[in-house]
Amino acid sequence: MQRIEGEVSGIDVARRTVAYQADGAARTLTYDRLVFALGSRLAHPPIPGLDRHAFDVDTHASAERLNAHIAGLARRNPSPGQFTALVVGGGLTGIEAAAEMPGKLSAAGAESPRVILADHAPRIGSDMGEGALPVIDEALRALGIETRGGVSVAAVDAEGATLASGEWIAAATIVWCAGMQAHPLTAQFPVGRDRLGRLPVEPSLKIKGLAAEFAAGDAAWFLVDGVHASVMSCQHGRPMGRFAGHNVVCDLLGRPLLPLRIDWYTTILDLGPWGAVYTEGWDRKLVSRGADAKRTKELINRQRIYPPQSGDRRAILDAATPTVQAPPVRFG
């Protein structure tokens, strides 16, 4: 096996080639089988000023840029929105980002930090279901986070955001968390994609209608239990990756492919210093909340999503076994 470090720029399914840039040169690889796992990206609608002035937490680098900006707020000339953070997007990422903001702004020198979490849906966190909504409301209230539903951002500048209603919100920190799109190279496969730009795959992770191409993670979707579409998440991306890796080798060797089926679904949403909320099932029944749910979340974020940290090669390879893990442990 060879690892190549490069930036993939094109995929030609008819010729079975991948074009990429490495060491400043354009190169091409041919393949017998391909696994496409380039993930997703934060959606950037063409809102004036968004790319220039808004921050995000989509990558480690962009989260570090946000942290550096917040750390420097106290050195700016005083302004009405100096210690106000407007987080746009009331889905899971926006809620988690907002829950961290009061603490970050206080650490940066704010005496009265203001955090506003806005979404164009009428209710923040509405995707989280009836069981979790009151918990999210309680946590956001306890953290002093203002919520604004029914809000649409029309423009962003260095001092704040203008809403479609004409209202201006003074905020030196705007964090954009409004929606994900599968990697744009998914457009190079000759198949229909879903509204998130994802490639349709069989339970074997082979792209529907193609002979040699597999896809996994945020760039792909299938009905995980025969009914519900996979969700852009590590919960689904990790088993998809394990099965795609196994099946691509089986396909080369002419062996049967293993279908992936996942019969459980959980959501564990971090709520910053308040704790977390853990729900189970597609109807999101409340399992635990507060510090109990946070213990689960920390086990996921610090252990479960990583390969074995022992560095032991056998253990790392074993972690790629094509199996579906049990749901995360509950406490309380």
Ligand X SMILES: Cc1cc2nc3c(=O)[nH]c(=O)nc-3n(C[C@H](O)[C@H](O)[C@H](O)COP(=O)(O)OP(=O)(O)OC[C@H]3O[C@@H](n4cnc5c(N)ncnc54)[C@H](O)[C@@H]3O)c2cc1C
* Residue ranges that bind ligand X, judged by CB under 6 A: 7-8, 37-39, 57-58, 93, 183, 217-219, 232-235, 237
In the bound complex, what is the minimum distance in angstroms from residue 110's beta carbon to ligand X?
23
Compute the distance between CA of residue 324 and CA of residue 327 in angstroms, rounded to an integer. Answer: 9
Nearer to ligand X, 237 or 239 (CB): 237
Contacts of 180 (CB under 8 A, 6+ apart): 40, 41, 42, 43, 196, 218, 232
Report the residue number whose CB is nearest to ligand X: 217
For the bound state, the minimum distance from the C-beta of residue 241 to ligand X, rounded and expressed in Å, comes to 6
Closest separation between CB of residue 271 and ligand X, Å? 12
User: How do strand 199-200 and strand 220-221 relate by DSSP bridges?
Assistant: parallel
Strands 114-118, 145-148: parallel, antiparallel or unpaired by DSSP? parallel
Q: In the structure encoding, which two tokens stand for residue 53, read together? A: 């002035």
Distances (CA, A) of 85 to 98, 106, 251, 272: 8, 12, 50, 15
**Nearest residue to 307 (alpha-carbon basis) of 318, 294, 295:** 318
Which residue's CB is nearer to ligand X, number 171 or number 219? 219
Toward ligand X, which CB reaches closer, 82 or 236?
236
- Distance of closest approach, residue 187 Cβ to ligand X, in angstroms: 13
Q: Which of 82, 232 has the CB closer to ligand X?
A: 232
Tokens of 96: 């988690």
- The distance of closest approach from Cβ of residue 97 to ligand X in the complex, given in angstroms and rounded to an integer, is 7
| Minimum distance from residue 58 beta carbon to ligand X (Å) | 5
d(CA 89, CA 127): 12
